[in-house]
Amino acid sequence: MQSYTVVLGSGNSADLPGGLFFILLASTGAVDIEFFRNRTSIGKVSGIEEGYRNKFDKKFDAVKITDVSAAANTVKVGIAQEGDADYNRAFGSVTVADGNINAVDVAALLAAVAGTRSPLTDLSGCTAASAVNSTVTAVAAIDNVAGVRIALVNLMVNAATGLAAMTLDGNDRIALSGTDQSLVCRDLLIPDGIAVGIRSTSAGANARIVYEVLP
């Protein structure tokens, strides 16, 4: 895995090479991350800070990182060009406030997860849902009283006009579009009080989620 460090001015972007595995190792502020294949966007996450990672089934050609913190931002990422890769460093977790994803200290939530299902790749007790040309609320905000563990999100699009997405409080937070595209995200923690869902805009787009509502 190759690491890259870039310094972004407020609102500026940097283009980095593609690969099969991506992780945001460090960031002094929030960024948008957009992945490309054949010069076409295949997915974008918004307002992310350190700790975000993604393993792809097919190589992406390039990744664009844009500062959205309104300040100078030093960003370090890791990209694996081939083979399998992973990274197990513990980060502060992720919470959602006012529709944006922001890194905060949620040690208590991590401890709660460790006391229920550990490691995160354990699928026992999980529920699966899928959406094709529809919108599905996996967990309503009122039912999310102690957080949601998302073991897997799988987005696949085979139609040029289709879109598949995972939603938080009804807003797209991980989205994929374009013909013959696929995206997989694993091991996400969503804090309490947030509605979790998936949606698809056409018969050629499929969104799948495997999750557990924490007790």
Burial (CB count <10 Å: 0-12, 13-18, 19+), residue 82 = exposed
Q: Examine residue 99 and state whether it is found in any structural domain, yes or no.
A: no
Is residue 110 domain-shared with residue 179, that is, in the same domain?
yes
For residue 134, give the nearest of 194, 45, 208 by alpha carbon.
Answer: 208
My answer on whether 52 and 121 are in the same domain is no
CATH of the domain at 175: 2.60.120.1010
How many angstroms separate the CA atoms of 128 and 151, rounded? 10
CA atoms 197, 198, 201, 202: torsion sign: negative
Three-point CA angle 181, 61, 93, nearest 5°: 75
Q: pTM of the entire structure?
A: 0.49
Cα(22)–Cα(9) distance, integer angstroms? 22
**Tally of domains in the chain:** 2
In terms of domains, do 56 and 19 share one?
Answer: yes
Q: Does 176 share its domain with 142?
A: yes
Same domain? For 158 and 74 the reply is no
- Band the pLDDT of 198: cuts 50, 70, 90: very high
Percentage of residues in the chain having pLDDT higher than 90: 14
- The answer to whether residue 92 is domain-embedded is no
Which domain, by its residues, includes 23? 2-80
Last residue of one domain, picked from the residues 80, 97, 115: 80
Q: 124: pLDDT confidence band, cut at 50, 70 and 90?
A: low
Please report, rounded to a whole number, the percentage of residues in the chain having pLDDT higher than 70.
79
Q: Is residue 125 part of a domain?
A: yes
CATH number reported for the structural domain that contains residue 46 in this entry: 2.60.120.380
Kind plus residue range of the DSSP H or E element containing 17: strand 13-27
Q: Which of 45-54, 87-96, 195-204 has the lowest mean pLDDT?
A: 87-96
Higher pLDDT, 50 or 165: 165
Predicted confidence at residue 108, as pLDDT, reads 42
- Whether residues 128 and 55 share a domain: the answer is no
β-pair partners for 77 = 4, 24
Read off the pLDDT of residues 135-156 as tens digits, 9 standing for 90 and up: 999 999 999 998 888 888 888 8
Euclidean distance between the first and the last CA atom of the chain, given in angstroms as a whole number = 37
Contacts of 115 (CB under 8 A, 6+ apart): none
Task: State the burial class of residue 38 (Cβ atoms within 10 Å of its Cβ: 0-12, 13-18, 19+).
Answer: exposed
85 belongs to a structural domain = no
Q: Are residues 146 and 195 located together in one domain of the fold?
A: yes
